[in-house]
Structure 1
């Protein structure tokens, strides 16, 4: 088996590149598939749980948290994720059954391997055949679950207050703001060298944010920050030279 067997998992992991635990588990899955290891079963289950964690972190309501305990079962994690995605209606009962059977599949493999042991008296070939099919079934089941959750997440209304998605993700909302909200910069006052950005709301009010020029450039455009820094260094050299000349005079 290769990663071609789990396109849904590959797509979700490519989307959430900044989720470290998800990426770590994805690498474990790749390694286990390359080596034909039964660790692929654990990695597949781990990926489902990691995707659930990402979905819940993005959509959970802090006033009514759905996040299970860390030692919760995979069933609990997927149940919480589907509730966060508001998919708890009747037509998803069969999906819940799929989660249950996926969990049971992994447990069955664990018991089977433990019972067989390294000295299984001629059962090695039989056990190996079962292992291959269990591994394949677990990967396919995990891929179906991850793809379902990921695509449901893509269709969900995200909250920009706590979203980890990039600015581009909120294209429609961005267009509304850019059309109806203006921007002005207040001149520096005598009490502070930090300028104030005023965002002019359509109702006549404004939102004021006081921010250093260096901080704004550093957070928004590192290239512009470096260019501004080089220009500032040149300006400081001229200032220092002027001070020295005045001192000599």
Structure 2
């Protein structure tokens, strides 16, 4: 059903794999995410989080950015480092884009907490608990799509258009 296709709902994931066609790990994450999303797999939350982190690592490696303080950074730390490397963090002041970037930082932390608490294979999760509602999983997907779109726009040197960021225009 086209209404449930990952590429129709969250185009930034496809844009990332097209941006880096030779990034084997990113390509594999994408294939697994499509299978899980379109087939109602149980590890969608974990795959979304992993994909976002993979995009962050890819950008950091391509930019030759300096290492992170931690050898096992959180999603929030990775996003903050990518935004620093792209020149988006702490330089925009309190304008609309600055507020959106701040919100994306908070969103990354919330995604990390959500995954750890509610993901189907989250740390120590009881296998008999009910799965996360499809509605909340979709919110998680769209949130990550927005963050990835912001990263891709900035990486390509384009000022993100806050009204069309999810369409990657």
TM-score, normalising length: structure 1: 0.52
Larger Rg: 1
Q: Partner residue of 1:2?
A: 5
Q: Compute the displacement of 1:94 (Å).
A: 1.8
Q: Compute the displacement of 1:71 (Å).
A: 2.2
Q: Compute the displacement of 1:134 (Å).
A: 2.8
Q: Indicate which of 95, 103, 106 corresponds to 1:97.
A: 106
Gaps of 5+ in 2: 159-169
Larger relative contact order (CA 8 Å, sep ≥ 6): 2
Q: Compute the displacement of 1:144 (Å).
A: 0.8
Alignment length (residue pairs): 144
Q: Sort the Cα spacing of 1:67 and 1:112 in 2 relative to 1 into closer, same or farther, 3 A.
A: closer
Is the aligned partner of 1:114 residue 2:125? yes
Q: Compute the displacement of 1:80 (Å).
A: 1.0
| CA offsets 1:191-230 (integer angstroms, 9 cap, x no match) | xxxxxxxxxxxxxxxxxxxxxxxxxxxxxxxxxxxxxxxx
| CA offsets 1:50-80 (integer angstroms, 9 cap, x no match) | 110111112234xxx1446552211111111
Q: Sort the Cα spacing of 1:15 and 1:112 in 2 relative to 1 into closer, same or farther, 3 A.
A: closer
What is the distance in 2 between the residues matched to 1:47 and 1:20? 12
Determine if contact 1:7/1:143 at 8 Å carries over to the other structure. yes
Determine if contact 1:68/1:77 at 8 Å carries over to the other structure. no
Q: Sort the Cα spacing of 1:5 and 1:85 in 2 relative to 1 into closer, same or farther, 3 A.
A: same
What is the distance in 1 between the residues matched to 2:138 and 2:86? 28
Q: Sort the Cα spacing of 1:112 and 1:21 in 2 relative to 1 into closer, same or farther, 3 A.
A: closer
What is the distance in 2 between the residues matched to 1:2 and 1:19? 22
Gaps of 5+ in 1: 121-126, 157-249
TM-score, normalising length: structure 2: 0.75
Q: Compute the displacement of 1:113 (Å).
A: 9.2
What is the distance in 2 between the residues matched to 1:146 and 1:45? 11
Is the aligned partner of 1:36 residue 2:37? no
